[in-house]
Amino acid sequence: MSRNSYVFFFLLFFPISLVESSLCSSKDVSLVRNLNDAPQSNFGREGLSHITVAGSVLHDMKEVEVWLQTFAPGTRTPIHRHSCEEVFVVLKGSGTLFLASSSHMKYPGTPEKFSIFSNSTFHIPINNAHQVWNTHDNEDLQVLVVISRPPVKVFIYEDWFMPHTAAKLKFPYYWDEECLHQPKDEL
Ligand SMILES: *[C@@H]1O[C@H](CO)[C@@H](O)[C@H](O)[C@H]1NC(C)=O
């Protein structure tokens, strides 16, 4: 098949792949975007809503990435660490931050507990294992998150006493998966 008829074949039978590829490219992205129209998903994690407000993969951001996330009551992030800075602003709701500041030991160990609340802000030091938990019974927890050095490489722990060396790398992370795996030279 010539390249043109190959492309034609694709457009005819897989128009959806066009939609996906524009979702994953920064070319068609306008400067001012309505977050109400931004792609939003739980990426297979029940009770999570994630929007990449400005991202490395989606918008070609080089230094920082911004997320808008909502956690349903009772839901939480995995226990995890990453070698980037991370800043949270709590827009709505309340919950608990668990933070282990022991990246120099063999495992995170018992974390410190901090209450987080609407209009509070906190940052996670590089490589400290942490977990954000919506501990409220019936209110969503909504946070705006800024990370440095995107796309994020996350090491996930099953518990606070799992050795750092056993933490499992998740890369690309859930919301980067689709587009980081996109073959670059198709279409
Ligand atoms: C959070 O800050 C906004 C803006 O200053 C304010 O209108 C709102 O009442 C604050 N909410 C709480 C729960 O403090």
> Would you call 115 helix, strand, or coil by DSSP?
strand
Q: What is the pLDDT of residue 123?
A: 98
Which residue, by CA, sits nearest to atom 6 of ligand 1?
119
Torsion of CA 175, 178, 181, 187, to 10 degrees: -140
Distance 96 CA to ligand 1 centre (A): 19
CATH number for position 105: 2.60.120.10
State pTM to two decimals. Answer: 0.83
Q: What is the pLDDT of residue 187?
A: 46
Annotated binding-site residues for Zn(2+) read: 80, 82, 86, 130
In a domain, 134, yes or no: yes
In a domain, 17, yes or no: no
Q: Is the CB of 121 under 6 A from ligand 1?
A: no
- Domain containing 144 equals 33-176
Q: What is the pLDDT of residues 94-139, one digit of tens each?
A: 999 999 987 679 999 999 999 999 999 999 999 999 999 999 999 9
In testing the pocket of ligand 1, which one of 92, 118, 119, 143 has its CB within 8 Å of the most ligand atoms? 119
Q: What is the pLDDT of residues 35-65, one digit of tens each?
A: 999 999 999 999 999 999 999 988 999 999 9
Task: Using alpha carbons, select from 90, 75, 74, 48 the residue that is nearest to residue 137.
Answer: 74
